[in-house]
């Protein structure tokens, strides 16, 4: 099964939270309510150096995805 790169998620146990799930490597979930990021991968020290430079870009892409999805809801 091919998954989209980003998914939008919510949970009634967290009524103020909106989650963006990144399904490609490195997988992560970001809570847009507080910008907390949970990485779903284990990283070596070498990976962590590379990840720090890529993380900002990935988080921006997640936010762009959210903005795009919300604009599509508004248009409907």
Element (H, E) at 74: helix 45-75
Residue with tokens 């998620």: 9
pLDDT average, residue stretch 20-27: 95
Pairwise CA distance, residues 62 & 56, whole Å:
10
pLDDT digit string (tens) for 35-44?
A: 999 999 988 8
pTM exceeding 0.85 = yes
Mean pLDDT of 24-49: 90
| Average pLDDT of the segment spanning 22-50 | 90
């Amino acid at each position: 099964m091919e998954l989209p790169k980003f998914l939008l998620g919510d949970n009634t146990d967290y009524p103020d939270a909106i989650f963006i799930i990144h399904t490609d490597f490195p997988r992560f979930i970001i809570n847009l309510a507080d910008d907390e990021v949970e990485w779903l991968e284990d990283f070596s020290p070498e990976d962590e150096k590379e990840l720090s430079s890529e993380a900002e870009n990935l988080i921006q892409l997640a936010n762009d995805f959210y903005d795009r999805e919300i604009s599509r809801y508004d248009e409907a």
